[in-house]
Chains A and B, each alone.
Chain A
Amino acid sequence: MLSYILRRVLYAVPIIIGVNVITALLFFYVNTPENMARKILGEKNVTPSAIENWKQDHGYNLPPFLNVKEKGLSVVTQTIFFQKAVPLLWFDFGRSDRNNIDIGSEIKTRMWPSLAISLPMFTAGVFIDLFFAMLLAYYRGTRFDISAVVFCVMMMSVSTLFYIIGGQYFLGKLLKLFPISGFDTGVHSAKFLILPVVVGVISGAGVGIRFYRTVFLEEVSKDYVRTARAKGLSEGKVLFKHALKNAMIPVLTNVVVSIPFLFYGSLIMETFFSIPGLGNFTIDAIQSQDFAIVRSMVYLGSILYIIGLILTDISYTLVDPRVIFE
């Protein structure tokens, strides 16, 4: 087991390096430091010396990948790639291009508000989706099931933006149940979090319920379920005791992979509800064209995704005794 985990982690290393190279290519090669300086200093009336100065100050005055002027190991180390992208491997994010803030410490403080909104949203979402999916699987083929599936498809066809805007308008502005947006720390944050959580759960329900229902139905049509029924077990027992356990395996893939990503929050939710999390941070960076932050966030997101995949594989071995990796 331990050797399997180790191997799985080692397997992720080339992928992490690959992600690093791709982002570096995009940000240092396709988009030259020249361009960045121009965008940050303002498009017009920039003197070449101002650009040089900016590059000097922010460490962009090196060649992107290979420095032919240097000798020995410095050919590789005295480059933008080595100075800027390689430290990401040990989570040294450096400083932002525009305000010169420390990106690493910003990430550390901002991930908690992100988690505060995405964790309840995610857990409530999964449980509610699973509950309704089981209900539909229990009543499969009936008029209730069919109309509910139709309703799910309709819910899937509405953009998240409408759920957010609608939620803010009806629940926040008209009924005045919750504040429309904002954030606070500790216990006081609760009143700000309810609305985004409700909106998030509703907007994901269509896809979620339909997906889990399919998973349950696939399980219900298997042989062991027929055997359980033939044994004379009640439909409820068959469904909730036998089928549910086995259906958990595909459900796990869907759930575990997103857990690390919860730290990241959601770009859209956080901007609409003014939550000072990582999603909001990213959007701000996009709008002010701060490439150092965007690059760090792309990298961070990839790492979280890869961690999610590893966790998924490990959780398989825990829930399904048949899965044995040598």
Chain B
Amino acid sequence: MPVILATDIMVFLIIGLVVYFFIGARSDGPLRAVWLSLKKNRLAAISFAVLLVYAGLALMDSIRWRDIVVSPASNGAVVGSKFASYNAEALSLLDRVFINMRTETEKTYSAPFDDKLFAKETIELPDGKRVRDYPPLKYKGRHWLGTDKVGGDVFFAALKGARTAVIIGTGATVVIIPFAILFGVIAGYYGGVADDIIQYLYTTLASIPGVLLIVAFMLLFGTEGYQGGLISEGMVWAKVFVPNDRLFWLCLILGITSWTDLCRLIRAETLKLREMEYVQAAKAFGAGRLKIIYRHIVPNLAHLVLITFVLQFSSLVLAEAILSYIGIGVGPRMGSWGNMINTARLELSREPVVWWNLLAAFAFMFGLVLPANIFADAVRDALDPRLRNR
């Protein structure tokens, strides 16, 4: 039985958008410059490929379903939905592919590729003697990045963080794009009172420091809702859809705080486009306002949207870690690099030091944010000719 979280829908939407942009960029549109620059700039192309790998991980981790638990009353036969109940844990495709890493847990910490546990224990030798030594691992050489405090595989935990990061990095912008376009175009095209109101609105919102607005919002909305882990029946609508998803609220508020910049850009661009000859011509031909906006203005805003989208990605991913540290990020049971850093912080003061949790979070985050930065620069250079000489 599939389970769809609110953020899963976002992932599908985002993947769809990326594919759409990709097709748009390959054909003869205003975004073709991105495609051409990717062809020339090998570093950006490699970065794009790395980003696709992370997106793939996020997609795999967003397709999930619950297994049927056979109830004893049905005598082992799964017939119809009458006796079938579903496991409270919805495993994703990623969980199922790496099922070994998920289930092969040790007792506690172990270093990467080590063959023994990190803490000494009293072990009974075959001849009956008891010694205090590091006990051997159950699954030697399987934990590439070691295990964490409860023996879970660190590499797997880091993989699970990819979905959260990708959703935060892209979702926050995607959620607000329609509103930014709507308000920006209205303010820029119609002017007058509408312009004043919208400008007032975004200036006021921009005056509230982002972090604090996020804090206030998450304290109010984020405390309930799905935060990873088991799914209770009460959360699920129509047995499939989980609408109250804490990660979604986080995306929404991150979007609201970053909405103002995009809206301002779109307003300015609309002001410019409104005076263009082709818009004037369309007006002279008697095209309605809505048609002009829809056919002539909005398509020419695509580059602004794309630039904002890629430029904000890395800072949003970095913000997630900080928010999780403050305690208003994703829930503690949701895989995230912010949570990994948070726990790893205390492990550094252990003696001897447990460093692999921190290293894994660092490596996975760096591996996402660096290509994102490089790719974002390439996109901006391709679409914004003013900055091309950098």
Residues of A at the B interface (CB closer than 8 Å) are 14-15, 18-19, 22-23, 26-27, 30-31, 153-154, 156-162, 165, 169, 173, 214, 217, 221, 261, 264, 267-268, 282-283, 286-287, 289, 291, 294-295, 297-298, 301-302, 305-306, 309
Q: Are B327 and A286 in contact (CB under 8 A)?
A: yes
Given contacts A159-B341, A301-B209, contact A294 B321 (CB under 8 A): no
A-B contact pairs, 8 of them (CB 8 A): A18-B201, A18-B204, A157-B314, A157-B369, A157-B372, A157-B373, A159-B321, A161-B341
Give the residues from 168 to 216 in chain B that come closer than 8 angstroms, CB to CB, to chain A: 200-201, 203-205, 207-209, 211-213, 215-216
Chain B residues contacting A22 (CB-CB under 8 Å) are 204-205, 208
Q: Whole-angstrom distance from the CB of B366 to the nearest CB of chain A?
A: 6
Q: Are B216 and A305 in contact (CB under 8 A)?
A: no
Q: Are B200 and A14 in contact (CB under 8 A)?
A: yes
Main secondary structure of the interface of B (DSSP, over half): helix
Q: How far is the CA of A244 from the CA of B358 in the complex (A)?
A: 41
Q: Are B318 and A159 in contact (CB under 8 A)?
A: yes
Q: How far is the CA of A14 from the CA of B345 in the complex (A)?
A: 44
B217, closest chain A residue (CB): A26
Chain B residues contacting A294 (CB-CB under 8 Å) are 212, 215-216, 219
Question: Does B297 have its Cβ within 8 Å of any Cβ on chain A?
Answer: no
Chain B residues contacting A264 (CB-CB under 8 Å) are 209
Q: Are A156 and B373 in contact (CB under 8 A)?
A: yes
Greatest chain A CB density within 10 A among B318, B341, B349, B387 is at B318
Q: Are B209 and A283 in contact (CB under 8 A)?
A: no
Chain A residues contacting B377 (CB-CB under 8 Å) are 153
Q: Whole-angstrom distance from the CB of B15 to the nearest CB of chain A?
A: 23
Instruction: Identify A286's interface contact among B215, B321, B370, B390, CB under 8 A.
Output: B215
Q: Are B216 and A153 in contact (CB under 8 A)?
A: no
Give the residues from 331 to 385 in chain B that come closer than 8 angstroms, CB to CB, to chain A: 341, 344-345, 348-349, 358, 362, 365-366, 369-370, 372-374, 377
Q: Are B341 and A301 in contact (CB under 8 A)?
A: no
Q: How far is the CA of A162 from the CA of B369 in the complex (A)?
A: 14
Q: How far is the CA of A302 from the CA of B205 in the complex (A)?
A: 9
Closest 9 CB pairs of A and B: A18-B204, A301-B209, A157-B369, A157-B370, A298-B212, A31-B220, A302-B207, A159-B321, A302-B208
Give the residues from 277 to 328 in chain B that come closer than 8 angstroms, CB to CB, to chain A: 314, 318, 321-322, 325-328
Chain B residues contacting A30 (CB-CB under 8 Å) are 220-221
Question: Does B81 have its Cβ within 8 Å of any Cβ on chain A?
Answer: no
Residues of B at the A interface (CB closer than 8 Å) are 200-201, 203-205, 207-209, 211-213, 215-217, 219-221, 314, 318, 321-322, 325-328, 341, 344-345, 348-349, 358, 362, 365-366, 369-370, 372-374, 377, 387, 389-390
Q: Are B348 and A161 in contact (CB under 8 A)?
A: no
Q: Are B204 and A26 in contact (CB under 8 A)?
A: no
Apart from A23-B216, A27-B220, what are 20 other A-B pairs with CB-CB below 8 Å?
A: A15-B207, A26-B217, A153-B377, A157-B314, A157-B365, A158-B366, A159-B322, A161-B321, A161-B325, A162-B358, A165-B344, A214-B387, A217-B390, A268-B325, A282-B212, A286-B326, A294-B216, A298-B213, A305-B209, A309-B207
Q: How far is the CA of A305 from the CA of B205 in the complex (A)?
A: 11
B201, closest chain A residue (CB): A18
Q: How far is the CA of A264 from the CA of B344 in the complex (A)?
A: 28
Chain B residues contacting A268 (CB-CB under 8 Å) are 322, 325-326
Greatest chain A CB density within 10 A among B204, B341, B358 is at B204
Q: Are B358 and A298 in contact (CB under 8 A)?
A: no
Q: Whole-angstrom distance from the CB of B256 to the nearest CB of chain A?
A: 11
Q: Whole-angstrom distance from the CB of A208 to the nearest CB of chain B?
A: 14
Instruction: Identify B358's interface contact among A153, A157, A165, A306, CB under 8 A.
Output: A165
Q: Whole-angstrom distance from the CB of B172 to the nearest CB of chain A?
A: 17
Chain A residues contacting B345 (CB-CB under 8 Å) are 161, 165
Given contacts A23-B216, A287-B327, A294-B216, contact A156 B204 (CB under 8 A): no
Q: Are A161 and B322 in contact (CB under 8 A)?
A: yes
Q: How far is the CA of A26 from the CA of B369 in the complex (A)?
A: 33
Chain B residues contacting A282 (CB-CB under 8 Å) are 212, 215
Chain B residues contacting A287 (CB-CB under 8 Å) are 327
Chain A residues contacting B349 (CB-CB under 8 Å) are 173
B220, closest chain A residue (CB): A31
Q: Whole-angstrom distance from the CB of A246 to the nearest CB of chain B?
A: 17
Q: Whole-angstrom distance from the CB of A157 to the nearest CB of chain B?
A: 4
Q: Are A158 and B208 in contact (CB under 8 A)?
A: no
Q: How far is the CA of A82 from the CA of B374 in the complex (A)?
A: 50
Q: How far is the CA of A71 from the CA of B377 in the complex (A)?
A: 61
Q: How far is the CA of A169 from the CA of B215 in the complex (A)?
A: 28
Q: Are B207 and A286 in contact (CB under 8 A)?
A: no
Given contacts A15-B207, A286-B215, A294-B219, contact A165 B348 (CB under 8 A): yes
Q: Are A154 and B370 in contact (CB under 8 A)?
A: yes
Q: Whole-angstrom distance from the CB of B337 to the nearest CB of chain A?
A: 8
Chain A residues contacting B362 (CB-CB under 8 Å) are 158, 162
Q: Are A301 and B373 in contact (CB under 8 A)?
A: no
Q: Whole-angstrom distance from the CB of A309 to the nearest CB of chain B?
A: 8
A295, closest chain B residue (CB): B216
Q: How far is the CA of A30 from the CA of B219 in the complex (A)?
A: 11
Chain B residues contacting A18 (CB-CB under 8 Å) are 200-201, 204, 207
Chain B residues contacting A169 (CB-CB under 8 Å) are 348
Chain B residues contacting A267 (CB-CB under 8 Å) are 211, 326
Chain A residues contacting B212 (CB-CB under 8 Å) are 282, 294, 297-298, 301
Chain A residues contacting B366 (CB-CB under 8 Å) are 157-158
Given contacts A15-B200, A159-B322, A162-B341, contact A27 B216 (CB under 8 A): yes
Chain B residues contacting A161 (CB-CB under 8 Å) are 321-322, 325, 341, 345
Chain A residues contacting B213 (CB-CB under 8 Å) are 298
Q: How far is the CA of A161 from the CA of B348 in the complex (A)?
A: 13
Q: Are B203 and A15 in contact (CB under 8 A)?
A: yes
Chain A residues contacting B327 (CB-CB under 8 Å) are 286-287
Greatest chain A CB density within 10 A among B212, B345, B390 is at B212
